[in-house]
Structure 1
Amino acid sequence: MALDDFHTFLKSLQPQSLLPSHISKYDYVPLDLSVDNQALKSVDVGSVNELQDYVWNVIRNQNAKVAYGGYLERRGIYQRSDYFNQDDPDKERNIHLGLDLWIEAHTPVYAPLEGTLHSYDNNTNFGDYGPCMILKHQFEDFEFYTLYGHLSIESLEGKQVGEKIEKGQQIATLGTAKVNGAYPPHLHFQIIRDIQNYKGDYPGVSNLIELDFYKENCPDPQLLFNL
Structure 2
Amino acid sequence: MSEMEKSEEPVGPLDGQFEYKTNKDGTINKHVVVCSHCKKDFSFHRSTSSLKYHLNAKHTFVGASTSGVTPGMRQTTLTERRALSKSTSEKLNDKIARWIAKDCRPINIVEDTGLAEVLKVATLDAFYKPPSRGTVMTKINELYVAKMKTKEEDLASAEHMPCIAHMLQRSINVSLSDSGFTNVLAKCRKIVGHFRHRKC
Give the TM-score, by structure 1 length. Answer: 0.18
More strand per residue: 1 or 2? Answer: 1
Higher helix share: 2
Q: TM-score, normalised by structure 2?
A: 0.20
| Larger RCO: 1 or 2 (CA < 8 Å, sep 6+) | 1
Instruction: Mark the structure with the bigger radius of gyration.
Output: 2
